[in-house]
Amino acid sequence: MAQFFTRFPRIAYDIAGKQLTNYQVATNLFFRLAVVREALNNISAYYNHIISDHETPEILAEQVYGNPEAHWVILLTNEIVDPQYDWPLNYREFQNFIIDKYGSIATAKTTYHHYEKVITREESATGLVTTTRFIVNEDKLTNNALSVPYDYYAGLAETQTVNTYNMSDGKTVVEIVNRNAVNNYDYENELNESKRQIKIIKPQYYPQIKLEFDALTKQADPLYIRRLA
């Protein structure tokens, strides 16, 4: 996978931001292909995929494009710059990550990242349920009014209130308000799981994507171009 970024265009970059003439050469990680952008604008050109625990970019590229070296198409499509951190960890890797960061699984599950106010509303006529979550600070540091659209409440005990509203259109909405403490393990797990849904450009577009990538990185194979012409 390391060879992927070696083919990206190189740019002169003022890392210090001092607008000096002493620029350093860096890899342009924001390089994108027009054909990829066009495919993502066409809903029929890609599909959503949930990454399973055993899948790596190479394994997925082999399954989709018949070539593990085509992993760069998946990375480009989903704007993944660092596969080590932007790709979801499998179970074993995740457990090791938790232990390294928090000391133990038990500690991560008994220490808290943040608290939430969870508002669930159910419309009785249709059964439609919506859930809204707000992050609530554990401590109120000042007596100033909070810049959030909900009341402040302290303490670790979970609370629940139930309200019933009769709407002007005759419908009834039941609202349940809970407080939820999110421990560090659940927070990290949710963050990791959020990386699993990606977009996969359909395999019939792969030859065109590879052609443009090779041409723009100045490594196009003339025989390959003629075969596609």
Average pLDDT over residues 125-148: 69
Judged by average pLDDT, the poorest of 114-118, 138-142, 184-188 is 138-142
pLDDT band for 81, please (50, 70, 90 cuts).
confident
Question: Both tokens of residue 187?
Answer: 């927070």
Residue 20 pLDDT:
53
Residue 222 pLDDT:
47
Cα angle 2, 65, 4; round to 5: 15
Cα angle 214, 216, 220; round to 5: 30
How far is C-alpha 17 from the chain's CA centre? 29
**Cβ contact 2:84 at 8 Å:** no
Say which amino acid occupies 2: A
**Residue that the structure tokens 């001092």 belong to:** 18
Residue 82 pLDDT:
82
User: What CA–CA distance (Å, rounded) separates 223 from 229?
Assistant: 10
Q: How many C-beta neighbours within 10 Å does residue 114 have?
A: 14
Give the max Cα distance, the chain: 72
Residue 227 pLDDT:
47
Average pLDDT over residues 131-150: 60
Q: What is the DSSP letter of 194?
A: T
Work out whether strand 112-123 and strand 160-166 pair parallel, antiparallel, or are unpaired.
unpaired
Residues 6+ apart with CB under 8 A from 121: 129, 130, 131, 132, 173, 174, 175, 176
Residue 17 pLDDT:
55
User: Distance of CA 120 to CAs 22, 134, 164, Å?
Assistant: 57, 12, 12
**Cβ contact 75:82 at 8 Å:** no
Residue 117 pLDDT:
79
Residues 6+ apart with CB under 8 A from 208: 35, 228
Residue 41 pLDDT:
86
Write the pLDDT tens digit of every residue in 29-47.
445 566 677 888 888 999 9
